[in-house]
């Protein structure tokens, strides 16, 4: 039974990794993998169907909290974007120096990612750079640094990266502690590549390349939705600390509040004009396939955990390697090749909270490594894939121009964390 389940998972994982050559969306592969592993288990153990169903319900309950959180967060971001709220940030950038602009863009992406998420931040900031920078080579370098900055910024925030969010919702980390312990390593992870990349940026921007965007919303509407939306996202950790309710309850509260605000400020408009700014329209624009991808992966990992396959794998790694620092560092490097979501989900199933309680070295270092390791290759993170598509960045170009910077930043940040926290 275990061999069959492992085989199905490996084949499914391979299909996810080879999404582009196979031309099959990774969400389809993830859903097939998740359903097939449970189907194989229950068909091979028909006498235990009640226990298997109960295990599935438990894992589905855990996955639902993550999925509701992601759906609500994505909707809030889409509402802000529909109202041109991010122009509040972009309109304040006036420098013409390429080097200064690279620093400014990277720092904004770092902190914006902590409030939004690395994928959304990358899309917003790359869109901004396309308005400011005309030269294709320069623009790709900006995009590469945005990927590094967004991934580093997401690693130290409980809502900045889906893997960190998973660890937070799962109880492996707490919001205040992850922000305190991973912030400095994340800064170093960005700073090292930025120092190298900024040296390559010479001269000033062509003033004629700047494009002005005509907004369809008023300044008051943009400010109101931007402040309310960002406030709703930032309030989630506070809500959890006050009520002790799961994080998805806080984000749903924030979405409900923003929804009411949006309805109020557009109340005098006719239905055809205010439809674009509605929550129903925002739900149509969110990346639903990614949500289904997370669902498939999480229930697949749940089967591996319930059949004790992950527990045996953890024991094997501890016996053969025996060093948590080396294991987690390797997971971070592996996330440059394969998706970090299943890697972290698997790690959460391999190591239990009884042995490794909340805010243990393992979980904090996992948040850093899984969040930043994907920057080493363009295909290693959702942010990288988004930048790749938007700027037509080739895999080889990224390896030649960005990968070494990202690797040095990853290693430096890891060293800083281990020095501060102590090796596991």
241-300 pLDDT per residue, tens: 889 888 889 989 999 999 999 999 998 888 777 888 999 898 888 878 878 887 888 888
- Most confident of the ranges 91-100, 111-120, 248-257, 273-282: 248-257
User: For residue 299, what is the enclosing H or E element?
Assistant: helix 288-306
According to the model, what pLDDT value does residue 423 have? 62
According to the model, what pLDDT value does residue 378 have? 82
Q: Tokens 């990614």 belong to which residue? A: 290
Q: What is the mean pLDDT of residues 326-336?
A: 88
Of 107, 114, 16, 31, give the one whose Cα is nearest residue 67.
31
* Separation of alpha carbons 232 and 422, rounded Å: 35
Is the separation of the CB atoms in 345 and 299 below 8 Å? no
Instruction: Give the tokens for residue 289.
Output: 């396939």
According to the model, what pLDDT value does residue 303 have? 87
Q: Residue 176's CB: how many other CB atoms inside 10 A?
A: 12
Q: Over 50: is that where the pLDDT of 308 sits?
A: yes
According to the model, what pLDDT value does residue 203 have? 77
Q: What is the mean pLDDT of residues 157-164?
A: 87
Work out the mean pLDDT of the chain and round it to a whole number. Answer: 86
Query: How does residue 214 score in pLDDT terms, banded at 50, 70 and 90?
Result: low
**Number of folded domains that form the chain:** 1
Of 180, 176, 154, give the one whose Cα is nearest residue 165.
154
SS3 394: coil
Is the separation of the CB atoms in 47 and 193 below 8 Å? no
pLDDT above 90 covers a percentage of the chain that reads 31
According to the model, what pLDDT value does residue 4 have? 92
Q: What is the mean pLDDT of residues 123-135?
A: 81
Query: How does residue 97 score in pLDDT terms, banded at 50, 70 and 90?
Result: confident
Q: Over 60: is that where the pLDDT of 217 sits?
A: yes
Query: How does residue 209 score in pLDDT terms, banded at 50, 70 and 90?
Result: very low
Instruction: Give the tokens for residue 247.
Output: 């994080």
Of 410, 261, 401, give the one whose Cα is nearest residue 336.
410
According to the model, what pLDDT value does residue 373 have? 92
> In 123-145, which positions are buried (b, 16+ CB within 10 angstroms) versus exposed (e)?
bbbbebbbebbeeeebbbbbbbb
Task: List 204's β-bridge partners, or say none.
Answer: 97
Question: How many residues make up the chain in this entry?
Answer: 424
Residue 139: CA count within 13 A, CB half-sphere = 20
Query: How does residue 153 score in pLDDT terms, banded at 50, 70 and 90?
Result: very high
152's CB contacts (< 8 A; 6+ apart) are: 110, 113, 186, 187, 189, 190, 371, 372, 375, 409, 413
Q: Tokens 């120096």 belong to which residue? A: 97
Instruction: Give the tokens for residue 165.
Output: 């969010």
* Separation of alpha carbons 172 and 338, rounded Å: 22
CA 396 to centroid of chain Cα atoms: 24
* Separation of alpha carbons 275 and 341, rounded Å: 34
* Separation of alpha carbons 8 and 18, rounded Å: 15
Instruction: Give the tokens for residue 350.
Output: 């391999």
Q: Over 70: is that where the pLDDT of 56 sits?
A: yes
* Separation of alpha carbons 41 and 35, rounded Å: 10
Task: List 97's β-bridge partners, or say none.
Answer: 204
Residue 396 Rama label (left phi>0; alpha psi -120 to 50; beta): alpha
Q: What is the mean pLDDT of residues 32-60?
A: 89
Domain boundaries, position 74: 2-421
Q: What is the DSSP letter of 375?
A: G
Task: For the chain, state the CA radius of gyration.
Answer: 22
The answer to which of 98-107, 108-117, 361-370, 385-394 has the lowest mean pLDDT is 385-394
Alpha-carbon separation of residue 238 from 169, 190, 194, 359 (angstroms): 14, 27, 32, 18
* Separation of alpha carbons 80 and 123, rounded Å: 13
Angle between helices 309-320 and 2-17 (to 10 degrees): 80
SS3 204: strand
CA torsion 67-294-162-332 (nearest 10°) is: 160
Is the separation of the CB atoms in 332 and 368 below 8 Å? yes
Higher pLDDT: 400 or 92? It is: 400
Q: Over 50: is that where the pLDDT of 210 sits?
A: no
Q: What is the mean pLDDT of residues 142-158?
A: 94
């Amino acid at each position: 039974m275990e061999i069959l389940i492992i085989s199905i998972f490996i084949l499914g994982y391979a299909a996810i990794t080879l999404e582009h050559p196979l031309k099959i969306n990774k969400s389809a592969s993830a859903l097939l993998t998740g359903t097939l592993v449970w189907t194989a288990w229950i068909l091979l153990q028909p006498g235990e169907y009640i226990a298997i169903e109960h295990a599935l319900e438990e894992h589905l309950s855990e996955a639902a909290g993550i999925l509701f959180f992601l759906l609500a967060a994505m909707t809030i971001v889409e509402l802000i974007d529909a109202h041109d709220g991010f122009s509040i940030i972009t309109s304040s950038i006036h420098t013409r120096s390429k080097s200064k602009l690279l620093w400014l863009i990277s720092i904004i992406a770092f902190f914006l990612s902590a409030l939004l998420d690395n994928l959304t931040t990358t899309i917003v900031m790359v869109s901004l750079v396309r308005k400011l920078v005309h030269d294709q080579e320069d623009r790709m370098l900006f995009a590469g640094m945005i990927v590094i900055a967004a991934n580093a910024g997401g690693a130290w925030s409980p809502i900045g990266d889906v893997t960190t969010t998973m660890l937070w919702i799962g109880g492996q980390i707490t919001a205040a502690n992850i922000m305190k312990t991973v912030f400095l390593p994340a800064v170093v992870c960005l700073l090292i590549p930025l120092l190298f990349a900024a040296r390559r940026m010479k001269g000033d921007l062509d003033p004629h390349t700047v494009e002005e965007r005509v907004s369809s919303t008023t300044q008051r509407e943009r400010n109101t939705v931007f402040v309310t939306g960002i406030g709703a996202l930032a309030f989630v950790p506070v809500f959890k600390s006050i009520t002790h309710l799961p994080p998805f309850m806080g984000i749903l509260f924030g979405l409900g509040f923003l929804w009411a605000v949006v309805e109020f400020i557009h109340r005098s408009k006719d239905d055809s004009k205010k439809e674009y700014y509605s929550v129903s329209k925002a739900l149509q624009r969110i990346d639903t396939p990614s949500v289904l991808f997370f669902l498939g992966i999480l229930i697949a990992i749940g089967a591996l955990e319930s059949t004790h396959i992950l527990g045996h794998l953890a024991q094997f790694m501890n016996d053969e390697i025996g060093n948590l620092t080396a294991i987690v560092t390797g997971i971070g490097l592996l996330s440059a090749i394969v998706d970090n979501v299943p890697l972290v989900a698997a790690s959460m199933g391999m190591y239990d909270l009884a042995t490794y309680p909340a805010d243990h070295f393992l979980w904090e270092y996992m948040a850093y490594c899984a969040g930043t390791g994907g920057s080493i290759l363009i295909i290693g993170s959702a942010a990288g894939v988004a930048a790749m598509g938007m700027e037509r960045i080739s895999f080889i170009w990224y390896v030649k121009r960005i990968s070494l910077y990202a690797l040095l930043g990853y290693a430096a940040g890891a060293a800083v964390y281990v020095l501060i926290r102590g090796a596991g």
